[in-house]
Amino acid sequence: MTEPTGNVPAVGGLAPGAAAGGLVPAAEIVVTEQSGAPAVNATADQVGEPAVVESVAASRGPLAMEAIGLNKVFKLGRGAVLQAVRDVSFNLYQGAVIALVGESGSGKSTVAKLLAGQERPTSGEVIVDGKPINVRNTRSFRAYKSHVQYVFQDPFSSLNPVHTVGYDLTRPVRLHQPGVKDVPAAVTALLEQVRLTPAAQFVVKYPHELSGGQRQRVSFARALAAQPTVLLADEPVSMLDVSIRLEMLNLLDDLRTRLSLALLYITHDIASARYFADEVLVMYGGQIVERGPAEDVTQHPAHPYTQLLIASAPDPDNLGSSLRAGNVVVGPGGAIAGKAGNVGPAQVGCPFSNRCPIADDKCRRENPALQLLTPVRAAACWRLDVAASPVAGGSI
């Protein structure tokens, strides 16, 4: 990890993601124009030239997975549809953390489900090893599912209350590591990997006998039993006691380094993304509205939504207290309270236009595509020249 720049110290062993200086030529991500907008509750097509953005995460390791032009439209009945994800493209690289940041309803989990093959994209593709995933081919899809593991927000609901930890881990070891002869030893190794030691004490426990943090560690261990290359961690710390969030992020950071995992870290908390991720993708209304190196995006946010996210981050100076305070970045009744803009009446123009302090007529008419700011940064906004000014008190 690189040392943090600016006035924010590293906290708990976590430092901001790779700085732009460490770049190697990255795989290009082409953000294409959107087609075929649904009729109701949908955001408008994006307007503008496609942006080609390099990813700083590419300097960490080989390409693990590509999401190309993902769209997901849910049918709500009576002809109404909701576009949960719009034209989302990014890559995951081994050993790198990409943070997907946004408020509730912005489409983060839907993106993760598309990557995990739990939802099928309305259009667009997820590519692994140069091939699109094929959920219809049972055999290749089974192999894909062990390659990509999804860890949920709530460790309680994802663990079966009637099974012991030992049982929960034995099954995936048998399934995904058929060559392993000593299964109990493999289970012990998994528990040690997630620092649940002495392992013998934990194999006999039921979920209700564990703390929230210990349950989440068991969820990680279960995911690791599949020996994945990609880990999709959906709000992995938000349900945990505030005192152990940082510890848990440190564990994830350690795992991705040691196992060279490609990690998608989904969070509401842009402050934690700064300390943990190489690249940040900010989502609003189902689309990526800003992306770039974590340090850059959080220190110099370009998009009005990112600026407001950062301005409303509860702790301006350090991640440690933000995590300890357990704050939700977007507070009720505040300037950016409410659901992300993909729900409600038909949306035309920029999805953020009904909440943006600098929206003008064009914003209400046309939805901007991502525009390049530097080779590694992009934002989707018509008024970047005006928006570029820093938000008061908005550093993290």
Ligand X SMILES: Nc1ncnc2c1ncn2[C@@H]1O[C@H](COP(=O)(O)OP(=O)(O)OP(=O)(O)O)[C@@H](O)[C@H]1O
Q: Which partner, ligand X, Mg ion, ligand SF4, none, binds residue 358 by CB below 5 to 8 Å per kind?
A: ligand SF4
Residue 215 or 303: the one with the smaller Cβ distance to ligand SF4 is 303
Q: Which partner, ligand SF4, ligand X, Mg ion, none, binds residue 74 by CB below 5 to 8 Å per kind?
A: ligand X
Interface pick for Mg ion out of 109, 170, 272, 367 (rule CB under 5 A) = 109
Residue type, 50: P
Residue 140 or 354: the one with the smaller Cβ distance to ligand X is 354
For position 324 contacting ligand SF4 by CB under 6 A, the verdict is: no
Residue 128 or 282: the one with the smaller Cβ distance to ligand X is 282
Interface pick for ligand SF4 out of 356, 369, 370, 391 (rule CB under 6 A) = 356
Q: Which partner, ligand X, ligand SF4, Mg ion, none, binds residue 102 by CB below 5 to 8 Å per kind?
A: ligand X
3-state secondary structure the chain: CCCCCCCCCCECCECCCCCHHHCCCCCEEECCCCCCCCCCCCCCCEECCCCEEECHHHHCCCEEEEEEEEEEEEEEECCEEEEEEEEEEEEEECCCEEEEECCCCCCHHHHHHHHHCCCCCCEEEEEECCEECCCCCHHHHHHHHHHEEEECCCHHHHCCCCCCHHHHHHHHHHHHCCCCCCHHHHHHHHHHHCCCCCHHHHHCCCHHHCCHHHHHHHHHHHHHHCCCCEEEEECCCCCCCHHHHHHHHHHHHHHHHHHCCEEEEEECCHHHHHHHCCEEEEEECCEEEEEEEHHHHHHCCCCHHHHHHHHCCCCCCCHHHHHHHCCCCCCCCCCCCCCCCCCCCCCCCCCCCCCCCCCCHHHHHCEECCEEEECCEEECCCCHHHHCCCCCCCCC
Closest contact distance (angstroms) between CB of 236 and Mg ion is 11
Nearest CA to 237 among 14, 394, 55?
Answer: 14
For position 71 contacting Mg ion by CB under 5 A, the verdict is: no
For position 301 contacting ligand SF4 by CB under 6 A, the verdict is: no
For position 116 contacting ligand SF4 by CB under 6 A, the verdict is: no
Contact window for Mg ion (CB under 5 A) among 108-116, 133-141, 291-299, 349-357: 108-116
Closest contact distance (angstroms) between CB of 119 and ligand X is 7
x/- binding map, residues 367-396, to Mg ion, per CB under 5 A? ------------------------------
Residue 45 or 154: the one with the smaller Cβ distance to Mg ion is 154
Closest contact distance (angstroms) between CB of 270 and ligand X is 13
Strands 123-128 and 97-101: unpaired
Q: Which residues sit at the interface with ligand X, rule CB under 6 A?
A: 74, 82, 84, 102, 104-110, 268, 342-343
Closest contact distance (angstroms) between CB of 353 and ligand SF4 is 4
Residue 231 or 359: the one with the smaller Cβ distance to ligand SF4 is 359
For position 34 contacting Mg ion by CB under 5 A, the verdict is: no
For position 194 contacting ligand SF4 by CB under 6 A, the verdict is: no
- The residues binding ligand SF4 (CB under 6 A) are 303-304, 350, 352-353, 356, 358-359, 363, 368, 381-383, 387
